[in-house]
Amino acid sequence: MPGSPQSLIDGEIAGLKRFGYTPFGDAAPDWDGMWDLLRGDFATLQRTHVPTYAQMSPWPQEGARIYMRRRLLADRLFEECQELYRRLHGDGISTERVEAYALGRDAYEEAVLDFGKAREMLEDVFARTVDRVPAGPA
């Protein structure tokens, strides 16, 4: 038997929290703290040390901020989608509410894809900066 609408939302929230999701607040983003939660995504066999936010030069830092901003945007769209879902089940199913939820869900899914694209961009930045091997003696 499927869970309640709220239990489905709570399950998604639990998954997102692993990657730093927090409900929207007025405080400025904690780039250092957020990066600490996300930087493990960039560890590879060749890149065993992913720098902290403070250890990065301006170029990778900006890439990391873009990556994190896209995650924040996906978080906000997720919250809007949550509200549409609650209204759909709380106020009753109607064509208008189903269509509104579908629009909200599509926007959220597109934001998640954009987050993935930002990850690819940052991977490329790291390949050009963090992964550079210093030239040895000539």
Domain spans of the chain, in order of start = 5-22+30-41+48-128
pLDDT of residue 119 exceeding 70: yes
pLDDT of residue 130: 87
Mean pLDDT computed over every residue of the chain: 86
* Residue range 17-62, pLDDT digits in tens: 666 666 666 678 899 999 999 999 999 988 989 999 999 999 999 9
pLDDT of residue 26: 65
pTM of the model: 0.75
- Residue 12's pLDDT band, with cuts at 50, 70 and 90, is confident
Mean pLDDT computed over 62-66: 97
Residue 137 to residue 38: CA distance in whole angstroms: 36
Mean pLDDT computed over 101-106: 96
Burial of 64 (0-12, 13-18, 19+ CB in 10 A): buried
pLDDT of residue 124: 96
pLDDT of residue 14: 74
pLDDT of residue 33: 94
Mean pLDDT computed over 118-133: 90
127: left (phi over 0), alpha (psi -120 to 50) or beta: alpha
pLDDT of residue 24: 60
